[in-house]
Amino acid sequence: MSFRPSTTLETGYKSILDSLTTAVLVLGDDLAIRYLNPAAENLFETSLTRTQGLPLSDVLVDSADALETLHAAAYNGQSYTRREAEFALLTGPRLTVDYSVTPISLEPTELLIEIQPRDRLLRISREEDIISQQETTRILVRGMAHEIKNPLGGIRGAAQLLDRELGDEGQREYTRVIIDEADRLRSLVDRMLGPNKALQIAPTNIHEVLERVRTLIEAESRGKVHLRRDYDPSIPEFPGDKEQLIQAVLNIARNAMEAAFENDDILGLSASPTITFRTRALRQFTIGHRRHRLVCRIDIIDNGPGIPADLLQNIFYPMISGRASGTGLGLSITQSIIGQHRGLVECESEPGRTNFIIFLPLEDTK
């Protein structure tokens, strides 16, 4: 079956629409696709040739209310705008967009839809908030560490002096407990502060880092976790501290391993515990306020039960943990190390799939 191009497009405006960076669709009154400009083809990961004449619902999934509103716009000839709507493409990705609907002809009725993707702006805003929160947390932890370590030093020193004066071995046992506990608290505060040594910058291959982590996880899990690799071999070396990056990725991978082991107990899933390590190169990518020519994206994905929504926003804060046995310091340290490399860590989670995403600039960021 063939479809004639939109009558509106036959008036000579097609070349203008084709040159726009805004995604533009034209729908018939039956919500069948009449036209997509190149920006819309790129946004929806399809082409006009494949979609012309198909119902809009065959290309993207929106709420039933949204489709009813489109029908109403076609019937009543009224324009409207929606902000931060979410489209789910049939190919999998979800898009957050602003879009406007405008009737452009009466016989037959056609709808012009202009779409502005919001994902990138929302991501940049979210990353700025994360970076700001990290800096605030870092300042608070440093201040708290100073206030704790000073009296701890005095307590430990007084306990040492008292230990020398006591002749009763039973009483000296109490002073040693004080000294040991003071040392333990000091060690905890130091760990909260994260790495306290300067980065040892050298050319670093991200796949060497991931392979080292994979080997460690394989040994710690005794081969009970299925480890998948999906690497982009085109990613070049970059200036980084290999040992600290190994520690940062290992903290995430250990959490992923523990979560993957929980899937049988919590979800009753039959799938074996699995962790996927994936790398991709991103071009012209913004991290916070800075745009980078080339960025490495690292995904560490597990098939565990997921992270509760109320915990997800706070998992990078010190002392926040979803496990009774956790210290809540691993992810905080990871974020600190990646931050020193001018990168960022994010997390997406749902039952059965948790993805920690690391973004690392591939150029010298000094």
The pLDDT, as a whole number, for residue 364 is: 65
The stretch 79-105 carries a mean pLDDT of: 77
CATH 3.30.565.10 fits 202-361, yes or no: yes
The pLDDT, as a whole number, for residue 266 is: 46
Query: 251-281: per-residue pLDDT in tens?
Result: 999 989 988 887 654 444 456 889 999 999 9
- What pTM was estimated for this model as a whole? 0.60
The pLDDT, as a whole number, for residue 272 is: 84
> Of 220-224, 313-317, 319-323, 339-343, which range is least confident?
319-323
The pLDDT, as a whole number, for residue 214 is: 93
**pLDDT over threshold 90, residue 351:** no
Residue ranges per structural domain of the chain? 9-117, 122-193, 202-361
The pLDDT, as a whole number, for residue 184 is: 82
Return the CATH number of the domain spanning residue range 9-117.
3.30.450.20
The pLDDT, as a whole number, for residue 208 is: 94
Query: 110-164: per-residue pLDDT in tens?
Result: 888 888 887 767 666 766 676 677 677 767 777 777 777 778 888 888 888 888 8
Matching CATH topology for 9-117 and 202-361? no
**pLDDT over threshold 50, residue 1:** no
Q: Compute the mean pLDDT over every residue in the chain, rounded to the nearest whole number.
A: 79
SS (HEC) of the chain: CCCCCCCCHHHCCHHHHHHCCCEEEEEECCCEEEEECHHHHHHHCCCHHHHCCCEHHHCEECCHHHHHHHHHHHHHCCCEEEEEEEEEECCCCEEEEEEEEEEEEECCEEEEEEEEECHHHHHHHHHHHHHHHHHHHHHHHHHHHHHHHHHHHHHHHHHHHHHHHCCCHHHHHHHHHHHHHHHHHHHHHHHHHCCCCCCCCEEECHHHHHHHHHHHHHHHCCCCCEEEEECCCCCCCEEECHHHHHHHHHHHHHHHHHHHHHHHHHCCCCCCCEEEEEEEEEEEEEECCEEEEEEEEEEEEECCCCCCHHHHCCCCCCCCCCCCCCCCCHHHHHHHHHHHCCCEEEEEEECCEEEEEEEEECCCCC
The stretch 224-242 carries a mean pLDDT of: 92
Query: 321-344: per-residue pLDDT in tens?
Result: 555 455 556 787 888 888 888 888
**pLDDT over threshold 50, residue 199:** yes
**pLDDT over threshold 80, residue 103:** yes
The pLDDT, as a whole number, for residue 106 is: 60
